[in-house]
Amino acid sequence: MPQPTTRVLVAAMLSWFVLAAPLAAHEKHQREAAAPETARSGAGLQPGAGSQATAAGARAQEQERPEPPYPMPAMGHLLLEHLHNKVVHFPLALTVAAALLLVLARWWPGLEPAARWLAWLAALGAVAAYVTGRLQEEAFMGEPKEWVLRVHRTWGTAGAILIGAWAVAASFRRLRRFAWLVALVAAAAVLVTGLYGGVLAHGE
């Protein structure tokens, strides 16, 4: 008949096997349940792939999230920011319109006073464009588009001088016969200036 100590040891061993079997089965079940989740989250990837997958999922959610409406800046900020880009439209449009009127005035002389006044307004606009343009030059210094800036500035300066000369010529009777020629050259210079300005502001 087994001794008491032997019975205690046998009972302990049986208790161990009885308790260990369910625990082992439970751990196996947990591993099997976690395996599909691991496969879905990128099983077999290199270490750190889980965090990368989580970051990628967060980025995907951010991309799917609709962007909020554009907040309207203050009116003062709208008017003063990049002022040159706004002012240049005046000498550009006025110069072309005045040149067209001056050419038509060779057949309809009544259009000449309107062309002369537009020329003076274009000259004032050219001065404003030159001043505001100089204030915005610094942003392009040392950048790949610096050479475009220099060409734009050269043509813009020449165009402003030609517009002023045209306005003066149109104001004196003895010089008016040359005004239409100066007007065409000035309009060409302004258009070239606008072309380079567009590349400067919107080119890739």
User: Do 14 and 102 sit in the same domain of this protein?
Assistant: no
- Whether 79 is covered by a domain: the verdict is no
User: Do 6 and 104 sit in the same domain of this protein?
Assistant: no
User: Do 169 and 114 sit in the same domain of this protein?
Assistant: yes
- Distance from C-alpha of 103 to C-alpha of 183, rounded to nearest angstrom: 9
User: Do 169 and 100 sit in the same domain of this protein?
Assistant: yes
Residue 126 tokens read as 């050219």
Sequence-distant (6+) residues with CB within 8 A of 112 are 101, 102, 105, 170, 176
User: Do 24 and 114 sit in the same domain of this protein?
Assistant: no
User: Do 32 and 95 sit in the same domain of this protein?
Assistant: no
Dihedrals phi, psi of 66, to nearest 5 degrees = -65, 140
pLDDT digits (tens), the chain, 204 positions: 444 444 444 444 444 444 444 444 444 444 444 444 444 444 444 444 555 657 666 666 666 777 788 887 777 766 677 788 889 999 999 999 999 998 888 899 888 899 999 999 999 999 999 999 988 888 888 888 899 999 999 999 999 999 999 999 888 888 888 888 889 999 999 999 999 998 988 877
- Whether 77 is covered by a domain: the verdict is no
120: helix, coil or strand? helix
Instruction: State which of 9, 24, 40 marks the end of a domain.
Output: 40
**Contact between 135 and 84 (Cβ < 8 Å):** yes
Residue 194: CB atoms within 10 A of its CB come to: 21
52: helix, coil or strand? helix
181: helix, coil or strand? helix
- Whether 55 is covered by a domain: the verdict is no
Q: What's the total number of domains in the chain?
A: 2
- Whether 50 is covered by a domain: the verdict is no
User: Do 93 and 21 sit in the same domain of this protein?
Assistant: no
pTM of the model: 0.61
- Whether 169 is covered by a domain: the verdict is yes
Which domain covers residue 26, as residue numbers?
1-40
Residue 140: CB atoms within 10 A of its CB come to: 16
- Distance from C-alpha of 172 to C-alpha of 175, rounded to nearest angstrom: 5
**Contact between 166 and 189 (Cβ < 8 Å):** no
**Contact between 101 and 114 (Cβ < 8 Å):** yes
User: Do 101 and 29 sit in the same domain of this protein?
Assistant: no
- Whether 76 is covered by a domain: the verdict is no
User: Do 116 and 196 sit in the same domain of this protein?
Assistant: yes
**Contact between 174 and 136 (Cβ < 8 Å):** no
- Whether 49 is covered by a domain: the verdict is no
Rounded to whole angstroms, the maximal C-alpha distance in the chain is 144
**Contact between 164 and 123 (Cβ < 8 Å):** yes
